[in-house]
């Protein structure tokens, strides 16, 4: 069973249909909306500020979502896919975004809709990622505009993770 921990009087609010892997941890001031899924070893720690996660978000294995004390909350909007072992910290990720495996998104970053952050990239503090963009590297910079193929990849990743959830739920 997932670790869901009340902290400082605040219990995470999680929609009834959210898939939670047995060893994920959700702590404190966290809200997760319908259709989302949180995978193995993911940690969502709302201890020093709040974390809001929208609809149909997938937070894959080993992801850490945190925020900055009294400065930067974390807001993840609808249909965001966050790849394995990414770190999401005190930022805003708008709708229909794909964050690649091992990427690091730092404080006060805003990622525009329909964008991709390449695997292993580091988006440094205070960066504004334009909508419809692909950012890559360390520090991450715009490398191209999102084309139809990448937009389809963003959408299909969300759809695929909902399918994967069904495999686990059907086994229960």
pLDDT over threshold 80, residue 63: yes
167/46 Cα distance (integer angstroms): 29
Split into its structural domains, the chain has a count of 1
DSSP conformational letter for 72: B
Residue-wise pLDDT tens digits, 84-140:
999 999 999 999 999 999 999 999 999 999 999 999 999 999 999 999 999 999 999
Interacting residues of 22 by C-beta distance below 8 A, sequence separation 6+: 1, 2, 40
What's 98's domain CATH number?
2.160.10.10
pLDDT at 169: 87
Residue-wise pLDDT tens digits, 1-54:
899 999 999 999 999 999 999 999 999 999 999 999 999 999 999 999 999 999
By residue range, what is the domain housing residue 104?
3-171
Residue-wise pLDDT tens digits, 129-170:
999 999 999 999 999 999 999 999 999 999 999 999 999 987
Per DSSP, the three-state class of 158 is: helix
Residue 46 CB-density burial (10 A; 0-12 exposed, 13-18 middle, 19+ buried):
buried
pLDDT at 135: 98
Please list the residues that pair with 58 across neighbouring strands.
Answer: 37, 81
The model carries a pTM of 0.97
């Amino acid at each position: 069973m997932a670790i869901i921990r009340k902290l400082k009087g605040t219990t995470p609010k999680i929609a009834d249909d959210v898939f939670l892997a047995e060893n994920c941890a959700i702590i404190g001031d966290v809200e997760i909306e319908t259709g989302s899924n949180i995978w193995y070893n993911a940690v969502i720690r709302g201890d020093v500020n709040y974390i809001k996660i929208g609809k149909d978000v997938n937070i894959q294995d080993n992801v850490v979502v945190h925020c900055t004390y009294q400065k930067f909350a974390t807001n993840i909007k609808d249909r965001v896919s966050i790849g394995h072992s990414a770190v999401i910290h005190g930022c805003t990720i708008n709708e229909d975004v794909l964050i690649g495996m091992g990427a690091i998104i730092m404080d006060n970053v805003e990622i525009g809709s329909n964008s991709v952050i390449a695997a292993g990239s580091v988006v440094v503090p205070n960066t504004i990622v334009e909508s419809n963009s692909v950012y890559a590297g360390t520090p991450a910079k715009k490398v191209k505009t999102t084309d139809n193929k990448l937009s389809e990849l963003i959408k299909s990743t969300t759809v695929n993770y909902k399918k994967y959830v069904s495999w686990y739920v059907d086994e229960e």
